[in-house]
Amino acid sequence: MSTGGFFSSDLYTLYNVVQNTQILFPKELILSTLREYFAKDSKYHYVKDEWGFPKTPDHTDLPPNAGYNDDETTRIYIGQENRFDIPFYPAVLVRHSSSSFIPISFNEENECIQYGYRLYVDGYGQQYNLQVPLGFIFAGSWDLGFEIDVLTEGPQDRATIVEAICMLFRIMREPMTRSGLFIKDIKTTGESSELYQNDFIFKQTISLDCRGEYRRIIPVENIIEAITLCIEFGQIDNPASPPDPNLQINYSFDLTDAILQAQPI
């Protein structure tokens, strides 16, 4: 599975957000899963154009069977909204319906630390692969809702596409969980139809109840490398008295030494 969307803002980088499965990514994940699924079908064959959008050219000179055995046109529209004033049927439209924050702990997991390994080489050429802290972790989760509207020109196509989509998300539940979106429940609404340009459009909606999560990692790897202590001796009761230059203690406490002492090799 692949997604074509990305978060085009610097805010996640500035605030060290490494993951947020809330709206943009899960919607793109659902769309890409549907498109890859129907691209393998012969009847409802999905075809994308050179820009990645559903391929919906002018059908004036196209034969009626175009798109079944070739890639001249898509036989099903899969997207967020119709791109043009003239809709394309059958259509599968994905939209985000709701999201709510679900804490996984009182402190957002801020007591958790992500560790990594750093290679140290001393003056004798000995190498040590030590475990060091990389960052503080803050995490939480989202309860998400997505709705998939299926619009067709016939009731048989509506029932077939709705069934196929429901079965798809049962088949792809584990791969989507590994991608960061857990599908808790799949529900369908009742069938309906509405009049559009002297013809009926048949509609049914599929609801996906999902769970996503967010994660921030505040880097601390290079914040503290060493602590230097300097003690000067002088006349305590007189702050204006200069310190004795011959009585001074300097001590440097290096992070590497502390790790070597705390962790046996």
Q: pLDDT at position 163, please?
A: 96
Rounded to an integer, the average pLDDT of 80-97 is 82
Q: What is the pLDDT of residue 191?
A: 92
pTM tops 0.95, yes or no: no
84 confidence band (pLDDT: 50, 70, 90): low
* Confidence check: pLDDT of 89 > 50: yes
In a domain, 119, yes or no: no
pLDDT at 1 exceeding the cut of 60: no
Q: Which residue bears the tokens 């069934």?
A: 163
Burial of 103 (0-12, 13-18, 19+ CB in 10 A): exposed
| Confidence class for position 239, pLDDT limits 50, 70, 90 | low
Counted domains in the chain: 2
> What's the pLDDT at 247?
60
Cα torsion through 174, 176, 180, 185, rounded to 10 = -80
Average pLDDT score over residue span 55-70 = 80
How large is the average pLDDT for residues 26-39?
94
Is 133 among the domain residues?
A: no
Q: Domain check: are 214 and 263 in the same one?
A: no
Residues 242 and 145 in one domain: no
CA atoms within 13 A on the CB side of 57: 14
Mean pLDDT of 195-218: 91
Question: What is the predicted pLDDT for the residue at 127?
Answer: 81
In a domain, 260, yes or no: yes
Q: How far is CA 208 from CA 31, 97, 128, 149, in A?
A: 13, 10, 49, 11
- 256 in any annotated domain: yes
> Do both 45 and 150 map to the same domain?
yes
The yes-or-no verdict on residue 185 having pLDDT over 50 is yes
For residue 244, the enclosing domain spans 224-265
Phi, psi (5° rounding) for residue 164? -65, -40
In a domain, 262, yes or no: yes
Higher-pLDDT residue of 34, 118: 34
Q: Residue by residue, what is the 3-state secondary structure of 114-168?
A: EEEEEEEECCCCCEEEEEEEEEEEEEEEEEEEEEEEEEECCHHHHHHHHHHHHHH
> In the prediction, which pLDDT does 265 show?
40
